[in-house]
Amino acid sequence: MKSPILLTASKYLLPILLLFSFFLLLRGHYYPGGGFVGGLVASIAFVLHSFAFGTEATMKILKRKPLSLIPTGLAISALSVTIPILFGLPPMTGLWLEEPIPFIGHDRIIPLL
Amino acid sequence: MIDNNILGPVFIHLFTGILQLIAWRKTVTQRFISGIGSFLGVLIAIRLFTKVNSDGILTLNAANWDAPFGIVFVADLLSSTLVLITSIAAFAVSLFSSTGISRQRMLYGYFPIFHFLVMGLNGAFLTGDIFNLYVWFEVIIISSFVLMTLGGRKTQLEGAVKYMALNILASTFFLTGVGILYGITGSLNMADLSEKIKMVNNQFLVGITSAFFLLGFGIKSAVFPLYYWLPSSYHTPPSAVAATFGGLLTKVGIYAMLRVFSLIFIPDDFTKQLLMVLAVLTIFTGSMGALIKLNIRRLFSYLIVCHIGFMIGGIGMFTKVALIGTLFYLFHDILVKTNMFLIAGLIRQMRGTMDLKSLGGLYAQYPKISLLIVLVLFSLVGIPPLSGFWPKVFLIKDAYAHGEYAYIFALILGSFVTLFVIARMWSEAFWKNVPEGNELEDKFEPMPLARKILLVLPIGILALVTIYIGLNANFVITLADNIADQLIDTKPYIEAVLKQKQN
């Protein structure tokens, strides 16, 4: 099935959805949203692309195998859970930076991930 | 007391799993990581156990939220002991898997999933929050589905469907129970619940909720009317997987029952009576099933069901002596059942079959290994100085004191059937000569020495721990005594969670 509507739409939707997922990730700090929903939206973008152009084309723009992304993502989230232990705090505690990062301000880096 | 390191046993397996995902398809690296990771897990568990034993109950508030609001992790004696025993069993299985599991299965991620399963078990033992317990149960069953189906043979999938259907049903009951509990008390923290549940006006509703939990945990630990998924699925996956399942998964159900019925729903007379009836019937059906099975692993599966009944009966009496018996039996059972399935795997390597009729001549061919195995078999049966004997003494003594004669009868029947079944297995598989006209493929004999050691060493380790428990019963009984005290008088637990002192 090659529908021109789907082909055209997914070509433009891919970057927009990725941008939107990034927005959701950052917004999730204080409002509904966050990493989980952001990740879902990002993956939907690629799923839609694969519906339109086939799996191989999508793998080409992904550049990395999804299987190598799983341990990376897991490792980042597991580290964000365990890093507070190094500071003598319980796991999953939010860490705040003392110095503000320019343009972003005081921010919780750890729970953001 | 607050200790921020009690989640170590969970994290070590999480990181081991992640490292193995990075080493995807590099099976040799994965084997090494698995062995090292589980060994570190044992060390961390020993440290946790000694610390709990000397300092008392340790707690951890996840994300630094105070106790009734955030998720709290609690390491009391019961959970730290179970974490220790689980870690030892996991270490043995991890060593055994490095040769006992086919390369094909390793390529599809056997090791990472195995470590996620052990992580889930440790998490379930350590959590102090009832919804979090449900989440850990989900971690466990999702990993176990993967392990069950890995390899994708037809019989395996057939077993997996039964296993999955019943376990999802159990989780649904459990979750419904948690939902109702939250609805009537407004709390999920187990220590908090223990105080709030007494203030609920509608105690009838509390009773119904406890039935949901009983049903959910009952399915998971294979209690009488709900046990049939276990014998029809445990003989299908490879032996190393079956060892993890048989040794550990049903025991999590028993742990959850012990925790929930000691802390939240103190059993009333009706519940006690119900548990006693279930225990007797479980022992009876389990032993009847074991009598007629001729495949070693099917036979062991029925023995699991039978011995679960022993423990349910101990919970049903809910006195200190009975709980000591139950706890001792729980520790013994995890080690021995894991070991039994490993032995089944070893026999399969030696003979290529697990059917008692076509087995034979193992003693003549491998006398030393057979002597090691016979120690484990004796311990399962409960020959006096070994670990299976002591808990039965406590259980029978207490049942006699309370006039539970049906349970005593069932206990004795269960023990005799175990003895009979094991004796038959010994004479068929070890003493009898190889039946004529049987083509046996011995994969064990031509193996290089290192691989042979990797298959036998885990059985040796577990057997050593079993013997240690049996000969050093005094220590274990004191430990079980302290745990039983903590289970009956839950005040220290509640105080440790709700009125935390910063150390």
DSSP codes joined into one string, A63-106: -S-HHHHHHHHHHHHHHHHHHHHHTTS-TT---B-SSPBTTTBS
Per DSSP, the three-state class of B36 is helix
Confidence of residue A112 (pLDDT cuts 50, 70, 90): very low
Taking the C-alpha atoms of residue B246 and residue B234, their distance in angstroms, rounded to an integer, is 7
- As beta bridge partners, residue B60 has B73
Q: What distance in Å separates the CA atoms of residue B405 and residue A60, rounded to the nearest whole number? A: 71
- Give yes or no for B277 touching A (CB within 8 A): no
With a cut of 80, say whether residue B360 has pLDDT above it: no
Mean of pLDDT values over B333-358: 86
Clarify whether residues A82 and A51 are in a common domain: no
Percent of the residues in chain B that have a pLDDT greater than 90, as a whole number: 33
How many other CB atoms sit within 10 Å of the CB of residue B322? 24
Residues A52 and A37 in one domain: yes
What does the longest C-alpha to C-alpha distance in chain A come to?
Answer: 57
- What single string gives the DSSP state of each residue in B154-179? HHHHHHHHHHHHHHHHHHHHHHHHHH
The one-character DSSP state at B357 is G
Tell me the chain A residues in contact with residue B29 when contact means C-beta distances shorter than 8 Å: none
Same domain for A9 and A57? yes
Query: What is the number of structural domains in chain A?
Result: 2
Q: Do A71 and B21 touch (CB under 8 A)?
A: yes
Average pLDDT estimate for A77-103: 70
Query: Is A73 found in the same domain as A51?
Result: no
Mean pLDDT of B6-23: 89
Tokens of B376: 């484990």
For A102, residues 6+ apart whose C-beta sits below 8 A from its C-beta are none
Q: Could you tell me which residues are beta bridge partners of residue B189?
A: B129
Residues A79, A113 within the same domain: yes
The answer on A81 and A54 residing in a single domain is: no
ipTM, two decimals: 0.75
H or E, element range at B374: helix B367-381
Would you state the pLDDT for residue B438? 65
Residues 6+ apart with CB under 8 A from B460: B372
Name the strand (E) or helix (H) holding B61. strand B58-61
**CA–CA–CA angle B56, B58, B63 (5° rounding):** 170
- Name the residue in chain B with its Cα closest to that of A76: B18
Half-sphere exposure of B413 (CA within 13 A, CB side): 21
Note which residues in 63-82 of chain B have CB less than 8 A from chain A. Answer: 63-64
Q: For residues A108 and A73, state if they share a domain.
A: yes
- Which DSSP symbol is given to B429? I
Chain-centre distance for alpha carbon B188: 25
Cα B264 → chain centroid: 22
Angle between helix B8-22 and helix B110-126 axes, rounded to 10 deg:
170
Q: pLDDT grade, residue A39 (50/70/90)?
A: confident
- Domain containing A96 equals 68-113
Residues A75 and A89 grouped into a single domain: yes
Per-residue pLDDT reduced to its tens digit, B45-54? 999 999 998 8
Chain A residue set in contact with B, beta carbons under 8 Å: 67-68, 70-71, 74-75, 78, 82, 85, 88-94
Question: Are residues A10 and A47 located together in one domain of the fold?
Answer: yes
Q: Return the DSSP state at B433.
A: P
CB contact under 8 A, A92 and B63: yes
Q: Which band of pLDDT confidence, cut at 50, 70 and 90, is reported for residue A97?
A: low
If you ran DSSP here, which 8-state letter would residue B1 be given? Answer: -
Task: From A32, A90, A44, select the one nearest B72 (Cα to Cα).
Answer: A90
Whether residue A91 and residue B4 make contact (CB cut-off 8 A), yes or no, is yes
Burial class (CB in 10 A: 0-12, 13-18, 19+), B496: buried
DSSP codes, B114-169: HHHHHHHHHHHHHB-BHHHHHHHHHHHHHHHHHHHHTT--HHHHHHHHHHHHHHHH
Domain match, A57 and A73 both:
no
List beta partners, residue A96.
Answer: A108
A108 & A77 share domain: yes
pLDDT at B387: 82
CA-wise closest residue to B413 among B268, B290, B246, B276: B290
pLDDT in tens, B161-207: 888 888 999 999 999 999 999 999 888 888 888 888 888 888 888 88
pLDDT in tens, B83-105: 999 999 999 999 998 887 878 88
Which residues on B lie below 8 Å from A82 (Cβ)? 11
pLDDT at B503 over 70: no
B10 contacts chain A (CB < 8 A): no
Q: Do A59 and A13 share a structural domain?
A: yes
Alpha carbon B212 to its chain's center: 21
DSSP B69: T
